[in-house]
Amino acid sequence: MNTEHLEYEWSETPPSIAIIEAIASLENCPSTELGPTHGIVLSDTIDPEALDRLVTTGESVSVAFSVGEYDVKLTEKMLLVRDT
């Protein structure tokens, strides 16, 4: 099982971008190829802008969902992406 466990300052990197970059790293491809080549489209699962607003409020938050074959968990400072 492959996992990306990263810490972020969300004011510098939006959560939606971090998720795409982490999945691209696990897929070993550029993030621009996730949708066309791998069929992984974040917006098919969750509203990226709403997710960014929720996670960057500065409040304690935990969000978990699946994107394609990946489980994603976000907190106010951490991103965990794991293939299932």
Please answer whether residues 17 and 7 qualify as being in contact, where contact means their C-beta atoms are separated by less than 8 angstroms.
no
Q: Measure Cα distances from 22 to 58, 59, 65, 66, 69 in Å.
A: 22, 23, 15, 13, 13
What digits encode the pLDDT tens for the residues 26-48? 999 999 999 878 889 999 999 99
Q: Residue 76's closest CA among 25, 15, 5? A: 15
Q: Which residues constitute the domain of residue 56? A: 3-83
Ordered per-residue pLDDT tens for the chain, 84 residues: 788 888 888 888 999 999 999 999 999 999 999 987 888 999 999 999 999 999 988 889 999 999 999 999 999 889 999 998
pLDDT score, position 73: 96
How many structural domains does the chain have?
1
